[in-house]
Amino acid sequence: MTAIDDRMTGIFENLEVPEGVKAELIRGEIVMMAGPDMVHNLILESIVDQIPRARWHRLQTQDVAFAHEASEPQPDLVVIERGAVEAPGRLIPSAAVTLAVEVVSRTSAHRDYHVKREMYARGAIPSYLIVDPIKGQCLLLTEPRALTPSGEPDYWSKRTTKFGDPIALELLGITLDTSEFQTYS
């Protein structure tokens, strides 16, 4: 990281965010967005309800740390195995995350499909689920590797499903029922 990255990290850590606003540090930039739509929240509620609490922590306001990158994103949902992180704190290392979930909004589509996809692949997060209420579909990305012609990280396996179709989340040992997922009006 550069001195500028370190300064931005310091500013971000001390940032006072107004209620109802979410802030993330993405590649040295502070990104702020309004609170989510009810459709967004209902989708997350459905996902959380289907992931067994006995084995997994299902965290909705958890910042993730990435080595060698000035980023501290806060995925809409972070799933980690119980016992994977022992120390308390604001940041979880990306290596401890089993599944990151982003629910696309009209203002986050580029970040969710491109910026965070590359970031999560580089951070070796084994599964990344993009739930898109604009398109009415989910994209499950697994097996992070350097794949692009320029050597940038990406995911080897990509599966797209329509809302209503089940999604096998093998690493969690569940099949996600998406029949309750709604699209934005």
Residue 127 lies in a domain: yes
Residue 40 lies in a domain: yes
Within 10 angstroms of residue 13's Cβ, the number of other Cβ atoms is: 12
pTM of the complete model: 0.84
Residue 42 lies in a domain: yes
Coil, strand or helix at 150: coil
For the chain, the domain total comes to: 1
Residue 170 lies in a domain: yes
Residue 126 lies in a domain: yes
pLDDT digits (tens, 9 = 90+) for 2-34: 444 555 556 566 667 666 666 667 777 777 676
Residues in contact with 163: Cβ distance below 8 Å, sequence separation at least 6, in sequence order: 136, 137, 138, 178, 179, 181, 182, 183
Least confident stretch, 32-36, 69-73, 158-162: 32-36
pLDDT of 89 above 90: no
Within 10 angstroms of residue 114's Cβ, the number of other Cβ atoms is: 10
Closest CA to 52 of 176, 159, 141, 142: 176
Give the bridge partners for 25, in sequence order.
Answer: 30, 72
Residue 69 lies in a domain: yes
Q: What is the token pair recorded at 68?
A: 């060698």
Look over the chain and give the mean of its residue pLDDT values, rounded to a whole number. 88
Range of the domain at 65: 36-176
Q: Rounded to an integer, what distance in angstroms lies between the CA atom of residue 118 and that of residue 104? A: 16
Residue 184 lies in a domain: no
Alpha helices in 66-185 (DSSP H): 109-110, 116-122
Q: Rounded to an integer, what distance in angstroms lies between the CA atom of residue 93 and that of residue 88? A: 12
Query: At 43, is the pLDDT very low, low, confident or very high (cuts 50, 70, 90)?
Result: very high
Residue 15 lies in a domain: no
Closest CA to 183 of 66, 93, 104, 124: 104
Residue 91 sits in a domain of what CATH number?
3.90.1570.10
